[in-house]
Structure 1
Amino acid sequence: MRTIRFDINERHTLTRVGTVNDHNRMAVEFVGFDLEPEQTLFVVTKQRNREKVIPMTDNLWIVGKPLTLHPGDFKVMLRVRGGTQEWDTKWFTFRIDPIDHSHSCGCHEPPGDCCDLNTMKWVEDIKYRIEELEGTVVTELGINVPTIASTSDIDTIFI
């Protein structure tokens, strides 16, 4: 897990914290303040005009769902409650980048052009299991299933 040290007393323009659906989690360690023993620290997030208040046990905050489900900017503010002095920081802007489709994994190709080995394995496995049924033939046009008196008039299923 990557960790960013984020001093709340410094000026920050924009901090990138990953991409949409990124499985490598990002942690933000807030520094530059001291808490009294009876004070409680909260992180307030604001994304798409929705605010969420998250209580914290430490100054380390993990960026995760639902923030990483949507690309774009979101804002974060620290809120301290309790003790002799309660205070809020200013809003800090963070960004979740969109998915980069410049790689060649095949996830952005049309379904007919699939070259993903796992997908091809499942397609072949399904074809094999269907062909095991008596009287069926799998062709490129579809699956010809023998008509049985108790079934409807459908005799071809397309994949």
Structure 2
Amino acid sequence: MNLNAPRILVLNAGYEPLGLTTIRRGVLLVQSETADTVIPSPLYLRTPSRRVPVPSVIRLRRMVRRPLGRLSLNRRNVLRRDNHTCQYCGQRGRPLTIDHVLPKSRGGKDTWENLVAACYACNTKKGDRTPQEAGMRLLRKPGPPGYLAWITFELQEVPDEWLPFLPTAGVTRVYAD
């Protein structure tokens, strides 16, 4: 999958976000009257005989069950969840590591609730201790990303025209470094 290729936001019949699809599949869904274009994009597909408009947001005509998205627990996704920010000092732009809040040597597991982004200085300062023992505080309690994260994490930027369809509590804009 080319992560830089434009994607189309797919909405359920009730305007609930379901996921992303490729331009080809999105155009086919609209052409087969399985979906309607909600917001067009400035792009066109060219065929030998015509130009086909490419949608930015489509809505399925029939209600489907929303798939439960599961985001892989890996370094990249932990950094994205934490907005590439050290969860101890709040610094951005520094090289980051992944820290176990409860160290592995004390039984800490590789879970969304136990992993945070940390700069090298904070990770070294914390060492093999809990944040409380090291006199450090987390900026926010770690946990699994919201259900929309699995939709938007693969994008470099969430297009502005999608924002009305995404819950404001979870995502406003997502950037990848």
Shorter-chain TM range is: under 0.3
Structure with the greater alpha carbon radius of gyration? 1
TM-score normalised by the chain length of structure 2: 0.25
| Structure number with higher helix proportion | 2
TM-score normalised by the chain length of structure 1: 0.27
